[in-house]
Amino acid sequence: MDDDGFRDSLWRATAPPPPGTEALEGEQRADVAVIGAGYTGLSCALALAEAGTNVAVLEAGEIGHGASGRNNGQVIPTLSRVDPDALAAKAGEPFVQLVCDSAALTFELIRRYAMQCEAVQNGWVQPAHTPGRIKLAEARAAAWGRRGAPAELLDRDGVARITGSSYWHGGWQNRAGGKLNALAYCRELARAAIGRGARVHTRSAANSVERSGGLWRIACARGGVRAERVVIATHAYSDRLWPGLARSVFPVTSYQMATVPLPEAARQSVLPFDHACSDTRGDLHFFRWDAGGRLVTGGALVLSWNWRERLARRIGERVARVFPQLGAPHFEFQWHGRLGITLDRLPHVHELAPGVLAWLGCNGRGLALATAIGRELARACLGAPLASLPLPLTGMKPVWGHGVAKRFSSFALLLYRYRDSREPP
Ligand SMILES: Cc1cc2nc3c(=O)[nH]c(=O)nc-3n(C[C@H](O)[C@H](O)[C@H](O)COP(=O)(O)OP(=O)(O)OC[C@H]3O[C@@H](n4cnc5c(N)ncnc54)[C@H](O)[C@@H]3O)c2cc1C
């Protein structure tokens, strides 16, 4: 099921080709070895290469084979569930500021390296799906605004103007947010990193990370890399590489789809200012345009059985409900990917052993966040004391009963749908 999730994506059909890469052959030496060529690994590698560090990236599949090549491409400078004040209490104010600045950082990198990834920074809007969620929107706009975000509370008319729909009750927007072609951004990060001297090896799964002769040795099928430091950036695609790591996060499948290109009149009427949009539901309703005039949306399913037909029906009805002016949409692309959910809904950053760093737990909002955290992990590799970095450092905790819980994690969607149907207390 996993390869069609990557192969069939809109982004793969429309992104510029990846930079040329080869599988690792033979033994190499690096200052830092990065495992995983998604946003985290590549943002980290780019920052390290900028600093003149000898860095090698090892990727099991292609560049962007994980969530980074498959996501909705919404650049959102917030977490999905934990709001700024609660986040400050749990992870520290510097981390809240990192999240707050993460979209600006992402678009700044895109501009600096002239990345061809259909980037549009026209804002991200979060409409409220019940009248009671307006309070949440108010609190979010105020809390992010206090931290310097260009946040703005919107009444019902304001949201209707931005979304082209009278479906919601109001909401808020953050003008720092936006959208891009997910895989194109990932490939362009790789191109920038390679341009600065990083080596990126695809089809080079890391099979083990072991201490040998005062260095870490990462073994692949046909070679290995020896390095002082290692960044494990495998997120929800983590395997058995590091004991317990995969069991510290729940890989949850999110399904994506894109309509056929729609007429200009549709583009003028739905999200006419080209915002990225995801609402306050747990069973998230999210929408955006791609550069070719396709509405890119998707959703979650409790069961993966017959997912293409069931998703097309469910999301088709949703689009018709939210944007009746589009009629019954025809979907041209369907794909899926895995995102990393943590029990406390917080991102987790770990020092797994001296010189070995990892983070997981985007909880569905990891595009800008992975870009920002990747650069902080690079600073750690360059010698910055971990305690001086704005990162929520914790000990890695495999979840007890993970195997069983993982199998049933998609059933949490039923709880979200139930909660979505009720006003918050
Ligand atoms: C369908 C979907 C929609 C989403 N939509 C959004 C959105 O609109 N906005 C947003 O902010 N976030 C979104 N997210 C979340 C976001 O995509 C992720 O948080 C982000 O891409 C994580 O990047 P990463 O580099 O940490 O991990 P990944 O991109 O998952 O990269 C991990 C990489 O590690 C590789 N790997 C694994 N094991 C090994 C090994 N042993 N050796 C070598 N390589 C290995 C994998 O092949 C993979 O390429 C979405 C996620 C999904 C799945």
Binding site membership of 187 for ligand 1 (Cβ less than 6 Å): no
Do 189 and 181 contact (CB within 8 A), yes or no?
Answer: no
Ligand 1 binding pocket mutation candidate from 180, 301, 367 (most atoms within 8 A of CB): 367
Report the 10 Å Cβ neighbour count for 425: 4
Ligand 1 atom with least separation from CA of 207: 41
Distance CA 238, CA 66 (A): 10
Do 278 and 334 contact (CB within 8 A), yes or no?
Answer: no
- Select from 278, 96, 71, 99 the least CA-distant residue to 172: 278
Ligand 1 atom with least separation from CA of 73: 8
Ligand 1 binding pocket mutation candidate from 11, 81, 210, 237 (most atoms within 8 A of CB): 237
Binding site membership of 21 for ligand 1 (Cβ less than 6 Å): no
Query: How far is ligand 1, taken at its centre, from the CA of residue 275, in Å?
Result: 23
Token pair of 99 as six digits: 């999240």
- Select from 349, 353, 26, 397 the least CA-distant residue to 211: 353
pLDDT for residue 14: 98
Binding site membership of 39 for ligand 1 (Cβ less than 6 Å): yes
Distance CA 13, CA 180 (A): 14
Q: Which residue has the tokens 């206090």?
A: 146
Residue nearest to atom 2 of ligand 1 (CA): 71
pTM (predicted TM-score): 0.97
Residue nearest to atom 41 of ligand 1 (CA): 206
List the pLDDT tens digit at each of the 425 positions of the chain.
466 689 999 999 999 999 999 999 999 999 999 999 999 999 999 999 999 999 999 999 999 999 999 999 999 999 998 999 999 999 999 999 999 999 999 999 999 999 999 999 999 999 999 999 999 999 999 999 999 999 999 999 999 999 999 999 999 999 999 999 999 999 999 999 999 999 999 999 999 999 999 999 999 999 999 999 999 999 999 999 999 999 999 999 999 999 999 999 999 999 999 999 999 998 999 999 999 999 999 999 888 889 999 999 999 999 999 999 999 899 999 999 999 999 999 999 999 999 999 999 999 999 999 999 999 999 999 999 999 999 999 999 988 878 877 887 888 888 889 898 887 77
Binding site membership of 370 for ligand 1 (Cβ less than 6 Å): yes
Query: How far is ligand 1, taken at its centre, from the CA of residue 339, in Å?
Result: 6
Distance CA 371, CA 392 (A): 15
